[in-house]
Amino acid sequence: MARRSRFALPSIALGLDVVEAPSVDEAREALGGRGSTERGAGELVTVSLQRGGDAPGVVVFVSGTQRDVWIGAGRFVRTAVDRLTALASVGEELRSVAGEARRFASLSEGDPVRAIRRDGSAIDGRLVEKCRYGALVAHEDKVLAVSFRRIAPAAS
């Protein structure tokens, strides 16, 4: 059985303090593992959940017929494409997240990026490793885990 990380995106996104900083491996795991999406990130969908019901969301990662869908508050569902339908009407939050997913999908490892910290301040760094739900960003002598929603190309 795989060891579950003590650090998850919901706690990172909420700005909760933790006793110690996660290792790079723990940060990578919390961000869904290393990967670069295929075309389709940013699609607005309804996902049929395995436990019943449906949830509106945004596709953030595509690999073959597998999709990782953001369904809100730092929660993701990994599912097959056949469990998705196009979302007919969307609210402003989902539209915004879809744009963030498309922006993140356009980035590549090695790109200069701007990351927004929990306190709202911005830092410039280099995208060193792209993951399913975010990236590892080098800034000065540190590597930071950054959600796909808080990263953009660096201002030129």
Question: For residue 50, what is the domain's CATH number?
Answer: 2.30.30.140
Q: Is position 99 within any domain?
A: yes
Considering the domain boundaries, does residue 2 fall inside one? Answer: no
Residue at 118 is within a domain: yes
Angle made by CA atoms 101, 61, 16, in degrees to the nearest 5: 65
Q: Does residue 58 lie within any of the structural domains?
A: yes
**What pLDDT is stored for residue 19 in this prediction?**
54
Structural domain total, the chain: 1
Written as six digits, the tokens of 59 are 């596709």
Give CA–CA dist 79/48, Å, rounded: 9
On whether residue 64 sits in a domain, the answer given is: yes
Quick one: which of 149, 88, 81 has its CA closest to 116? 149
The residue segments making up the domain with residue 15 are 9-153
Tell me the per-residue pLDDT of 2-43, one tens digit each, with 9 for 90 and over.
454 444 444 444 444 445 777 899 999 999 999 999 999 999
pTM of the model: 0.83
- Average pLDDT estimate for 66-82: 95
What gap in Å lies between CA 117 and CA 84, rounded to an integer?
A: 32
What pairs with residue 47 in β-bridges?
55, 84
Q: Is residue 137 part of a domain?
A: yes
In angstroms, what CA-CA distances link 123 with 31, 62, 140?
Answer: 19, 28, 10
Mean residue pLDDT of the chain comes to: 88
Q: Given this model, what pLDDT does residue 11 score?
A: 45
Looking at residue 155, what is its pLDDT? 84
List the structure tokens of 67. Answer: 């999709």
Q: Kindly state whether residue 1 falls inside one of the protein's structural domains.
A: no
Residue 38 in domain: yes
Higher-pLDDT residue of 118 and 80 is: 80
pLDDT at 148 exceeding the cut of 60:
yes
